Amino acid sequence: MSPAPAIIRDVTLRDGLQLTGKPLPASAKAQLARSLFELGFEELEVGSLAHPKAVPAVANTPEVLGLLSEAERARSWVWVATARQVERAIDAGATRFQFCLSASDAHNRANVNRTAEQSMAELPRALELAATVGGRVQLCLATSFTCPFEGPVDPQRVLDLAGDPRAAGTPDIVIADTLGQASPAQVSGLIARVAAETPQRRIVFHGHDTWGQGTANALAAVQAGAGVVDGALGGLGGCPFAPGASGNTATEDLLFALRPDWLDPAGFHAAVGLGAELTERLDEPNRSRAAEGARAHAPAFPWALPAQ
């Protein structure tokens, strides 16, 4: 039986580029975003307002937003962690904000230099600012399963943050396996509890493939009630403040597994091509297993790349 329909959100331009050694110009980022939209992706994560010294690869996010059209920006999420970053994103033209904090205090301090409570206390102001431009804020809970400093995270901690009254007004919640250490059973269990025990809203699952469970975890999340799953081309990505984390689940792998309605073999081949071009340009390994399979000699299988 095919998994329930779900949106695949590509996060290459934010999470995917955080640890790359080579910078990508704003013009190239905007062109990649446009190519992904043209393929059929409904939503993208296009950058971050994190401090440029902390994450240099996303320092040109305001410029990227300026190169996108208003319609494209309306489908583009920007990572923020403070109300001030929301203000800066608004000044750059953003209307979709992913307000992120960590379920574990130790990672939140490493990531944004404050406790999770301090971050949550700032969320209402972020919501107020977003409302001035008709914006949308999704609450992102990083390290929802494990923390690189504290170890396993109690699911109740995630549920308490998800159900915090100060998060009222966030139509989406992102449950993140930041380290890629969760198993499918853990993912389905937590997603199901978030769906059943916290305010009703769209659930996004953000997974990494550190332990090879990225696609399996995404499928488990969808079957448990997630409406969106995140991926990055070529499996790029990782958190600079999370030792032990590797790349995101590959977008190509999610496309092959979930087969969204807009995808056909030609579109899949185009996505594989985008991932190959990007990883080659950045001198990064391409970790997508589906892209590897597509290059195998299998002329009778339509999802395989045509022989050159």
Q: Is residue 11 part of a domain?
A: yes
Concerning whether 100 is annotated as a catalytic residue, the answer is: no
Q: What's the confidence (pLDDT) of residue 191?
A: 98
Q: What's the confidence (pLDDT) of residue 240?
A: 65
Q: Within the chain, which residues score under 50 in pLDDT?
A: 1-4
Using CA atoms, how far apart are residues 190 and 196, in angstroms rounded to an integer?
A: 10
Q: What's the confidence (pLDDT) of residue 18?
A: 87
H or E element that contains 146: strand 146-147
Angle made by CA atoms 177, 34, 79, in degrees to the nearest 5: 35
Contact call for residues 221 and 188 (beta carbons, < 8 A): yes
Domain count, the chain: 1
Q: What's the confidence (pLDDT) of residue 238?
A: 75
CATH of the domain at 130: 3.20.20.70
SS3 305: coil
Q: Is residue 38 part of a domain?
A: yes
Q: Is residue 28 part of a domain?
A: yes
pLDDT tens digit sequence for 79-101: 999 999 999 999 999 999 999 99
Distance (Å) of CA 213 to CA 4, 191, 216, 249, 303: 19, 16, 5, 8, 22
Q: Is residue 179 part of a domain?
A: no
Q: Is residue 105 part of a domain?
A: yes
Q: What's the confidence (pLDDT) of residue 305?
A: 95
Distance (Å) of CA 136 to CA 22, 50, 114, 198: 31, 19, 24, 19
Q: What's the confidence (pLDDT) of residue 1?
A: 40
Using CA atoms, how far apart are residues 247 and 9, in angstroms rounded to an integer?
A: 15
Residue 255 in tokens: 């496309």
Q: What's the confidence (pLDDT) of residue 111?
A: 85
SS3 267: helix
Q: Is residue 173 part of a domain?
A: no
Q: What's the confidence (pLDDT) of residue 20?
A: 82
Q: Is residue 52 part of a domain?
A: yes
H or E element that contains 186: helix 184-197
pLDDT tens digit sequence for 215-233: 999 999 999 999 999 999 9
Q: What's the confidence (pLDDT) of residue 245?
A: 67
Contact call for residues 129 and 87 (beta carbons, < 8 A): yes
pTM of this prediction? 0.95
For 33-52, the DSSP string reads HHHHHHHT-S-EEEEE-S-T
What angle, rounded to 10 degrees, do the helices at 116-131 and 83-91 form?
Answer: 30
Using CA atoms, how far apart are residues 252 and 69, in angstroms rounded to an integer?
A: 26
pLDDT tens digit sequence for 262-273: 999 999 999 999
Q: Is residue 90 part of a domain?
A: yes
Using CA atoms, how far apart are residues 82 and 5, in angstroms rounded to an integer?
A: 33
Q: What's the confidence (pLDDT) of residue 55?
A: 87
Q: Which of 100, 140, 147, 239 is labelled catalytic?
A: 239
- Residue 281 lies in domain: 7-141+233-294
Q: What's the confidence (pLDDT) of residue 3?
A: 44
Using CA atoms, how far apart are residues 277 and 269, in angstroms rounded to an integer?
A: 12
Q: What's the confidence (pLDDT) of residue 242?
A: 61
